[in-house]
Structure 1
Amino acid sequence: MKKYVFGIDVGGTTVKCGLFTVKGELLEKWEIPTRTENNGAAILPDVAETVLKKISEKNLDKEEVAGIGIGVPGPVNDQGEVAGAVNLHWGYVNLADDMEKMTGLAIKAGNDANVAALGEMWKGGGAGSDSVVMVTLGTGVGGGIINNGKIVTGVHGAGGEIGHIHVTDDVERNCNCGNRGCLEQVASATGITYLANRRLQKDDMPSVLRNGQVSAKTVFDAVKAGDALAMEVAEEFGKYLGTALANVACVADPEVFVIGGGVSKAGQVVIDYIKKYYTANAFMTCKQVRFALAELGNDAGIYGAAKMVL
């Protein structure tokens, strides 16, 4: 009888680990450093070692462990193969196969944003729905599409890469992906900072943003304080993201959009700006989609990784 499952979220600096019951109760969580030197050769052996150590420390029978789910920052196909993960210095890695050999346990692997979306669907902002699109607004814009409880990966593992939808011709620089005008350039934390700085340079309109550091946080703090220039920036952000999600809805038709990442910490005000432009541009049968803030924070990845196995 399977009683336990491990969820692993591999990040560029730390690997988050969780031991769960098969019902989704988090029994323990811990972190180990991500050792990216030598092309990340130590990462999987370190994960295998920490899991096997935890099994022995808790006196678990391996037969009771359903397996290990692992989320990584890169495209992962249905066979658990990673084409490459820049932040880990990985080229091609046959993750599922390699980890199975190291641990003797069943392995499921997925892209970290997709896996976080699965976590939010299971135990977070999307709980109660099995068709969810998760939008992560951090340094970049990540996305994960869950349809009928299953991650949509696509043939190259790029399903849910909504940050690279083309939304504007009005930016002066290229995105990290090499294209120009990606959603990530105008709707991420760095994108909001870019929009704010651009607006500040346009004229001399007074704003509290002229008095200190400009960031996504200071922009939304200024919005809450009624700063007119900051509100213009938030409108522009909302237009780009809300319209992009209206396009996503035409393809994925989710029941709920879950908004997470650092920018979402500003709260309901972020959703209000997105929803305004989403509703204006969405196809008629998709207009009633629910919007929710993510609830699991940094734990979404370990929850989703565990859920992949189950």
Structure 2
Amino acid sequence: MTESRKLYVGLDVGGTSVKVGLFLQDGTLVGKGSVPTPPIVDEAGYNAVTNGIGQVLAEADATTAEVLGIGLAIPCPVPADGIIRMQANIQIDAPGLEAALHAFCPQAAVKFVNDANAAAMGELWTGAAKGRTSLVFVTIGTGVGGGVVIDGKVVAGAFGAGGEIGHLCMNPSEERACGCGGKGHLEQYASATGVVSNYLAECEARGVEPIELTGPSDSKDVFQACREGDEVALAAMRTMADYLGRALSLIANVIDPELFLLGGGASASADVYLETLVERYRAYAINVNADTPIEVASLGNDAGIYGAAYVALQAAEA
């Protein structure tokens, strides 16, 4: 390599792997890799992460001296002060990892961001929201997550709860508990798990035998039944769309984004429910924002590395 580049690293720290992306300033992906997620609490864990970055750099014929920012998308709340106080699904010593990354790339800005917020930023940088300045990213998977971006910046919140739309209380009379301990939360009805739950409840109410389901959060079976005209599955889908449409209308009255984007595993089945979701959103929304677009995200599982790198770029340029 003969000319120095400005490079940014995006890390998406998941339960099973740490995905690594290497990007140019304009969002061009120039290298990608992954390493199994270790307990990131000691030198061995820190080295696993830095070695993963080093391997991607080597494959791209780049050096650590060219890296101006490193962003880390992690599955836990990241408040505005950047101090991580709660983590449920990973073991990570954030200060220790940050120190290791600074030692690895002394000139690089290091920034943590919630994984859903990172996905939102990735879509804003080079994905379906490119050219916009505000959006709400909705991840529909085992639960429902969210990423809120206003004026090109993530809304993390004082305590890291910015974008926790899955825990909006949509049904105060619900007796079942959400995974968080609350009751009647959006993700109980609109997540992949919620779609299966809706379906089983419809089967019980109608006295019909359910189709064979792969698992408690595998909504693909229910959505496929919708495609085949199964009225019970369609009713479950309409419940999902109604709750989600009403939630988005409430969010729109607070955030008023330019765009809603749907991501997560269940977004792959948006062909089944998107039209109904838009119809229900418009039924609940006020006139001024009833036409806010609701679209499917475009970066898929790479949204996190894109967004983490973009957050790092912003931090480096601040």
* TM-fit CA distance, 1:268: 2.9
Question: Structure 1 unaligned runs (5+)?
Answer: none
Seen in structure 2, the aligned counterparts of structure 1 residues 167 and 61 have a Cα distance that, compared at 3 Å, is same
Seen in structure 2, the aligned counterparts of structure 1 residues 56 and 30 have a Cα distance that, compared at 3 Å, is closer
Indicate which of 90, 100, 103 corresponds to 2:102.
100
Indicate which of 72, 75, 82 corresponds to 1:80.
82
Structure 2 counterpart of 1:210, one-letter code = P
Residue 20 of structure 1 is matched in structure 2 by 23
**Which deviates more, 169-178 or 151-160?**
169-178
Structure 1 counterpart of 2:114, one-letter code = N
1:34 aligns with 2:37: yes
Instruction: Measure, in 2, the Cα distance between the counterparts of 1:79 and 1:100.
Output: 18
Residue 139 of structure 1 is matched in structure 2 by 142
Q: Does the CA-based 8 Å contact 2:23-2:29 persist in structure 1?
A: yes
Residue 220 of structure 2 is matched in structure 1 by 217
Seen in structure 2, the aligned counterparts of structure 1 residues 79 and 170 have a Cα distance that, compared at 3 Å, is closer
| Counterpart secondary structure, 1:16 | strand
Percent of residue pairs bearing the same amino acid type: 39
Structure 2 counterpart of 1:69, one-letter code = G
* TM-fit CA distance, 1:59: 4.4
Residue 204 of structure 2 is matched in structure 1 by 201
Cα deviation code 1:201-229 (max 9, x no counterpart): 11235xxx733216411221122222211
Question: Structure 2 unaligned runs (5+)?
Answer: 314-318
Cα deviation code 1:116-143 (max 9, x no counterpart): 1111122222222121100000011010
TM-score by length of 2: 0.89
How much is the aligned-residue C-alpha RMSD, in angstroms?
2.2
Cα deviation code 1:253-277 (max 9, x no counterpart): 1011000111111133322122111
Q: Does the CA-based 8 Å contact 1:81-1:96 persist in structure 2?
A: no
1:261 aligns with 2:264: yes
Residue 238 of structure 2 is matched in structure 1 by 235
TM-score by length of 1: 0.91
Residue 46 of structure 1 is matched in structure 2 by 48
Seen in structure 2, the aligned counterparts of structure 1 residues 176 and 2 have a Cα distance that, compared at 3 Å, is same
Instruction: Measure, in 2, the Cα distance between the counterparts of 1:47 and 1:172.
Output: 43
Indicate which of 47, 68, 71 corresponds to 2:70.
68
* TM-fit CA distance, 1:94: 6.6
Residue 311 of structure 2 is matched in structure 1 by 308
Seen in structure 2, the aligned counterparts of structure 1 residues 196 and 63 have a Cα distance that, compared at 3 Å, is same
Instruction: Measure, in 2, the Cα distance between the counterparts of 1:305 and 1:175.
Output: 29
Structure 1 counterpart of 2:210, one-letter code = R
1:160 aligns with 2:163: yes
Seen in structure 2, the aligned counterparts of structure 1 residues 151 and 44 have a Cα distance that, compared at 3 Å, is farther
Instruction: Measure, in 1, the Cα distance between the counterparts of 2:291 and 2:44.
Output: 47
Q: Does the CA-based 8 Å contact 2:33-2:56 persist in structure 1?
A: no
